[in-house]
Structure 1
Amino acid sequence: LDGFERWWDQSGTPRIAVTQNWDGNRLNLTLRQRTPPTPGQPKKRPFLIPLAVGLLDPDGTQIADTEILELKSETGSWIFESGHGWTATDAHLDGPVTRTDDTPVLSANRDFSAPVILERQMSEAERLTVLAHDTNLFNRWEAGRLLAKEELAKMATSGSEPSRAYIGALGRLLSDDSLDPAFRAAALDLPSEEDLLRTVRDEGQVPDPMRIHDLRQAMRTAISERLEDTFSRMFREMEVPGPYSHDAKDAGRRALRLTSLSALVRVEGPGPAREVFAEADNMTETLGALRTLVRADEAEEALATFFDRWKDDPNVLDKWFSIQILEAGPGTALAAARKLTTHPLFNWKTPNRFRAVIGAFAATMSAFHHPSGAGYELVADWLARLDPVNPQIAARTATAFETRHLFDAERQIMMDKVLKRLLKSPSRDLGEIVTRILDG
């Protein structure tokens, strides 16, 4: 276990730079680790990093099963030869990745074998190969997530539609009956708005949360339209007959059915979601259909029905409150939050109810960071009101402002204004959080 103790006594996330070279017969691989400085630890010692790797042919056929490569020092190198597997070597590679049309595709950090960040160059074709064919589900999911980010970036810069190759790969994954339905549902989900926002910032650009929201919606619509027939088939085939069961198999089928329902409503309108809502005999499908109707702005009747049935169950009613905000568009979410704070059952002194409305709104990136600044005002007003009653929840909710440094100067000025207002007479808890945010 020598070297593993550093995972306990050193902070920070290691970054692994990947360099490889294919000469037609052998693949040379060099891994270099570095961990950025953290407070009190300006210089890091190498971690012992077990990296699970496999290899695929460019056509997706696996040519090397999963094997653990142990990176014990700052730099480690290996050579792969067919029939011999991986062999450690002292010959380290320098320079960029070199590849040809027949270069094997490296499937690295399978099953997230090490909590590291990989820094590597992968072509779109390589990511598509991993998404469509890798035997490791984690890496297929990760490839899809990175491809989605790349497609969204291209849409933002060129105004183009998502590529047919990307959506085609999603379609093959969606229709692959050998895959767990739960995995297919997860793999079709796009990166969150906050994830995309941080990615844009990491690339040195100033993110626009409204633009990110619109691009995600445009991509969802494009995927739904191009894969409509497949989503329609999945919606029918994933219906779970018989009495409700909470086992993993049935839960996965319900997840994929609801994913398909969401896509169909974008193309066909709210009819299918209304039918599922009316016929559902379990909370998963009831809430799934309700979320879809809220996203389509067609939920008024369903929301009233749900409220009448569950108004005496506080835990379920919290869902009713939060869904109306979390699933709405930026402008609609702001209006919904304002309206819900006037509802007779908005017991704001109850932590869960406060989180269901104000916490949910603060977590909705495009609505909270609306260019008008109205989202900041709404949250700050309620923090000031809650602080004398429950300073812990007020302080925790105020951490929504911790992302202020990611945004443009105008949004930062508006956030600073409301945060400084909260410092007039705050509790110790809220004052500590707000001061730290402003100083940061």
Structure 2
Amino acid sequence: MDSPNAIATPHPILRSDYRPPAWLVPAVHLEVELDPAATRVRARLSVEPQGGTPGAPLRLDGAPGMVPERIAVDGRPLGAEEWRIEGEQLVIPLDQGAHIVDTEVVIAPEGNTQLMGLYASGGLLCTQCEAEGFRRITFFPDRPDVLSRYTVRMVADRARYPVLLANGDQTGTGDMTDGRHWAEWHDPFPKPCYLFAMVAGDLKANRDRFVTASGRSVELGIWVREADLPRTAHAMAALKASMAWDERVYGREYDLSIFNIVAVADFNFGAMENKGLNIFNSRYILADPETATDADYDAVAGVVAHEYFHNWSGNRVTCRDWFQLSLKEGFTVFRDQEFSADQGSRAVKRIEDVRVLRAAQFPEDAGPLAHPIRPDSYLEISNFYTATIYNKGAEVIRMLHTMLGAEGFRRGSDRYFDENDGTAATCEDFLRAMETANGVDLGGFRRWYGQAGTPRVRALLSHDAASGTARLSLAQIVPPTPGQPDKLPMPIPLRLALFGAESGRTLVPERVHILSEAEDSILFPAIGERPVLSINRGFSAPVVIESDRSAEDLAFLSAHDDDPFARFEAMQQLMVDTLVALIEGRPADEAAVIEAVRTTLADEALDAAFVGEAVLLPTEAFLGDQLAQVDPVAIRRAREGLRQRLGRTLEAQWRAAYAATAANGFALTPVAKGRRRLRTVALGYIAASGAADAAALALAQFEAADNMTDRYGALGVLGSMVAPERERALEGFYERYRADALVLDKWFTVQALSTREDTAEQVARLARHPDFTLANPNRLRALVGAFAANQHAFHAADGSGYRFVADMILAADPINAQTAARLVPPLGRWRRFEPMRAALMRAELERIVATPGLSRDVFEQASKSLG
């Protein structure tokens, strides 16, 4: 008998069960009559059998409740007895040989709140097909290793949908006698159905052109609502810069004559790399000084680059199955990170990337949802788009780049693209190309693809003054994770150097040492003074370093290390060590932290952006990750206490930095962005000092700002204060931007992240605000996602924060399961907390799992979090 919870016992999909498709679909012709209430989709599939399963019927994936209105094979309509529905699949027995299969379905995009397949958004009709959305449009073998050439004829009401876009190049347009019009598009490159795309709506384009290295002219278009056109210039500049960078660094040209981007308001992800027609969440396209922060500008450029780079690392070479997802995503994240680093401050970009990794992926690796970058199983593919796949996947690619060098990595990527162009590849294909191009054996490195968990590396440096030698002893351990209790050592490339503690000079220039065994050591000769170790420079490997470096050594490195990331890391480690000691009630050298921050502020050789990052204290969440058991109250007490002491002791320096970074007009240059960053950080420390004029200073900045970075930075400081200036700023911000959905998201977020004692009550009220909606993923993430990241409010002792987030998950699940599922992981960290909070978090997960009719998306996240 079935459980009352329909998905209580879902069957996992196993990588070991992969079999090639029994039928291929070389060509697809779609005729789509677009209507928000009833869109008619006629599909003509050219199918042919593939060896391995002779006599197997044709199986086409569909959506729940989807029934074909017509089926024909080779022009002959089939009777009801000649096909069947099994689960959500249309099954058609076919003789061996090539056939033409026609189907016809009617779907309702305006009722599609899941935002997968064809759906309505702000007057547009648009698609999202990754990972399994195409089956919601028509019956098809919805898997990434079925590659087809698509021709699409779109028909729609001309007045309502004057613009009709699809993949590839446009091959024809025309008007019809009934007020409708049509457009036909053809994509000459074979692609999986997850890269299919259509958009219909009243849109205007920012148009430009790009001339490739071989002299071809490519027509570019960024399509938005007419009112948003002025906010697309930055995205267009980023697109052209990305195209030029990919040619220069990877030798990859764009391959069609048209490249279009469309911005939509309702989108589950950041953007989608559909071949020749990228569809973006509007937050990653629209930017101007009035509405976008510097971080927004950077995100727009990074995401535009990411999706463009997918044209080769994802489209021309796609993935054989979803277990290979990091093949395209990890590789492309690395590519977009390097692009962004080349566009601005490489040091600051690296700091930002590592901060994201530590905030999202390290906890994932240490919790119940841990999985390798190439997992062995999943229940729901939409839960597979994780920080491990993307961010850790990028770090694995970066390690290859470090080990092979830039030239060797380029040789390997060239070989990978050339050998696999037009195919659905695997991670093994990528590694094999790297090996063959460079004559190396990456056998041990493959463990990074199959083992979960963040390795911990112990690094102990000893010095023998009598012999003038130093020895670095290294040891690694990969902790157990669900389903993987025992791990093998992995090759870990460590960039390291030694400095003289007295002289400050470089004793051992940087070298790369690959720690491939459980234990290893390095002997350094001719070391005449006590050395200080700089290790994992540039964060050369995604590991946790455990060393015996003293506070004095860390302070020295924070002032003298010649690797910017290592300098930042030393400061952060000094802060972490001090704060952990304070949290645990042990003696702590707060003076060393204060002096290190003072030294950094006084170093005129450092750019402001780096200083702004270096002097920030580690987050409460990151501090919790360093503890055997998380006590949110103790963490907050220690962190806020040190923050206040830094503010008071260095108040004069903070005020000097604040005054020195005042702008005389907006500019989007690295120097100007760095000054704005440091200005907001300094304002935060002035507020932390308890200065009587802090609220007035923040309000003055808020009201005088000529850009969103300064305005929102001031609002962020005011958001955690108890002062009338806070309410004035929040009200003013709302009235100024209430009609702009993307900016209004910031208004919700700044209140959700507030450290005030009444934050939980205010967030609960905001969830009832007329402008809050569960249907828009951006708005849900802006309030509920941000609140779940607020360590103090979310972890309230009475469990109200847990209950609120669980309520929001259950309310959002029937509307948009993917977005709801992404809100579960903060509850899944219950094992890390003290018993009272752990029990409250676990109870909410149990309540979620016990809810009848729960989606597979949420069920998988919640049940694994309990298991």
Determine the C-alpha separation between the residues in 2 that align with 1:311 and 1:194: 31
TM-score normalised by the chain length of structure 2: 0.46
Identity score, percent = 34
Determine the C-alpha separation between the residues in 2 that align with 1:129 and 1:345: 51
- Quote the residue 1:93 is aligned against: none
Deviations 1:284-311 (A, max 9, x none): 0000000011122331000111111111
- Quote the residue 2:657 is aligned against: 234
- 1:105 offset after TM fit, Å? 0.5
Determine the C-alpha separation between the residues in 2 that align with 1:60 and 1:406: 43
Structure 1: runs of 5+ lacking an equivalent: 85-101
Deviations 1:179-215 (A, max 9, x none): 12111111111111111112112xxxx3211221222
Q: Secondary structure of the equivalent of 1:185?
A: helix
Segment of structure 1 superposing worse, 65-74 or 119-128 = 65-74
Determine the C-alpha separation between the residues in 2 that align with 1:382 and 1:284: 30
Segment of structure 1 superposing worse, 368-377 or 148-157 = 148-157
- Quote the residue 2:451 is aligned against: 11
- 1:432 offset after TM fit, Å? 2.3
- Quote the residue 2:771 is aligned against: 345
Deviations 1:145-188 (A, max 9, x none): 22212222332344878622220111101111101211111111
- Quote the residue 1:153 is aligned against: 580
- Quote the residue 1:360 is aligned against: 786
Determine the C-alpha separation between the residues in 2 that align with 1:413 and 1:78: 47
Segment of structure 1 superposing worse, 174-183 or 59-68 = 59-68
1:69–1:421 distance in 2 versus 1, CA, 3 Å: closer
1:6–1:190 distance in 2 versus 1, CA, 3 Å: same
Please state if 1:55 is matched with 2:498.
Answer: yes
- 1:386 offset after TM fit, Å? 1.7
- Quote the residue 1:438 is aligned against: 866
Please state if 1:256 is matched with 2:675.
Answer: no
Determine the C-alpha separation between the residues in 2 that align with 1:370 and 1:360: 15
- Quote the residue 1:109 is aligned against: 536
Q: How does 1:274-353 map to 2 (within 5 A)?
A: 274-298=699-723, 299-329=726-756, 331-353=757-779
Q: Secondary structure of the equivalent of 2:663?
A: coil
Determine the C-alpha separation between the residues in 2 that align with 1:159 and 1:197: 16
Q: Are the aligned partners of 2:814 and 2:855 in contact in 1 as well (CA < 8 Å)?
A: yes
Determine the C-alpha separation between the residues in 1 that align with 2:458 and 2:815: 50
Q: Are the aligned partners of 1:16 and 1:34 in contact in 2 as well (CA < 8 Å)?
A: yes
Deviations 1:336-377 (A, max 9, x none): 101211211112222111111112111212211100111112
Determine the C-alpha separation between the residues in 2 that align with 1:83 and 1:194: 40
Q: Are the aligned partners of 1:60 and 1:130 in contact in 2 as well (CA < 8 Å)?
A: no
Determine the C-alpha separation between the residues in 2 that align with 1:43 and 1:79: 30
Counterpart residue type for residue 52 of structure 1: R
Determine the C-alpha separation between the residues in 1 that align with 2:776 and 2:603: 46
Aligned match for 1:369, one of 777, 787, 795: 795
Q: Are the aligned partners of 1:60 and 1:134 in contact in 2 as well (CA < 8 Å)?
A: no
Aligned match for 1:171, one of 587, 598, 604: 598
1:162–1:384 distance in 2 versus 1, CA, 3 Å: same
Q: Secondary structure of the equivalent of 1:186?
A: helix
1:382–1:28 distance in 2 versus 1, CA, 3 Å: closer
- 1:44 offset after TM fit, Å? 4.8
Q: Secondary structure of the equivalent of 2:716?
A: helix
Please state if 1:134 is matched with 2:561.
Answer: yes
Counterpart residue type for residue 2 of structure 1: D
Please state if 1:219 is matched with 2:642.
Answer: yes
- 1:71 offset after TM fit, Å? 3.3
Deviations 1:80-135 (A, max 9, x none): 23499xxxxxxxxxxxxxxxxx5211111111122333232112211121122212
- Quote the residue 2:856 is aligned against: 428
- Quote the residue 1:99 is aligned against: none
1:393–1:215 distance in 2 versus 1, CA, 3 Å: same
Q: Are the aligned partners of 1:131 and 1:143 in contact in 2 as well (CA < 8 Å)?
A: yes
Segment of structure 1 superposing worse, 34-43 or 22-31 = 34-43
- 1:404 offset after TM fit, Å? 0.8
Q: Which has the larger radius of gyration?
A: 2
Please state if 1:26 is matched with 2:453.
Answer: no
Counterpart residue type for residue 263 of structure 1: Y
1:395–1:125 distance in 2 versus 1, CA, 3 Å: same
Please state if 1:208 is matched with 2:631.
Answer: yes
1:19–1:208 distance in 2 versus 1, CA, 3 Å: closer
1:251–1:47 distance in 2 versus 1, CA, 3 Å: same
- 1:235 offset after TM fit, Å? 0.7
1:414–1:36 distance in 2 versus 1, CA, 3 Å: closer
Determine the C-alpha separation between the residues in 1 that align with 2:567 and 2:518: 28
1:7–1:388 distance in 2 versus 1, CA, 3 Å: same
1:34–1:412 distance in 2 versus 1, CA, 3 Å: closer
Q: Secondary structure of the equivalent of 1:239?
A: coil
Determine the C-alpha separation between the residues in 2 that align with 1:211 and 1:237: 35
- Quote the residue 2:611 is aligned against: 184
Counterpart residue type for residue 341 of structure 1: A
Determine the C-alpha separation between the residues in 1 that align with 2:477 and 2:804: 42
Q: Secondary structure of the equivalent of 1:230?
A: helix
1:7–1:138 distance in 2 versus 1, CA, 3 Å: farther
TM-score normalised by the chain length of structure 1: 0.88
Q: CA RMSD in A?
A: 2.3
Determine the C-alpha separation between the residues in 1 that align with 2:445 and 2:588: 48
- Quote the residue 1:2 is aligned against: 441
Determine the C-alpha separation between the residues in 2 that align with 1:184 and 1:371: 36
Q: Are the aligned partners of 1:149 and 1:196 in contact in 2 as well (CA < 8 Å)?
A: yes
Structure 2: runs of 5+ lacking an equivalent: 1-439
Q: Are the aligned partners of 1:60 and 1:133 in contact in 2 as well (CA < 8 Å)?
A: no
Determine the C-alpha separation between the residues in 1 that align with 2:752 and 2:731: 15
State the aligned residue count. Answer: 416
Determine the C-alpha separation between the residues in 2 that align with 1:415 and 1:48: 37
- 1:255 offset after TM fit, Å? 0.4
Counterpart residue type for residue 495 of structure 2: A
- Quote the residue 1:81 is aligned against: 525
Determine the C-alpha separation between the residues in 1 that align with 2:586 and 2:477: 37
Determine the C-alpha separation between the residues in 2 that align with 1:42 and 1:348: 39
Q: Secondary structure of the equivalent of 2:474?
A: strand
Deviations 1:303-330 (A, max 9, x none): 111111111100000000110111333x
Counterpart residue type for residue 561 of structure 2: D
Q: Secondary structure of the equivalent of 2:605?
A: coil
Q: Are the aligned partners of 1:60 and 1:129 in contact in 2 as well (CA < 8 Å)?
A: no
- 1:52 offset after TM fit, Å? 1.5
Q: Secondary structure of the equivalent of 2:617?
A: coil
Q: Are the aligned partners of 2:581 and 2:587 in contact in 1 as well (CA < 8 Å)?
A: yes
Determine the C-alpha separation between the residues in 2 that align with 1:60 and 1:372: 55
Counterpart residue type for residue 28 of structure 1: R
- 1:18 offset after TM fit, Å? 2.2
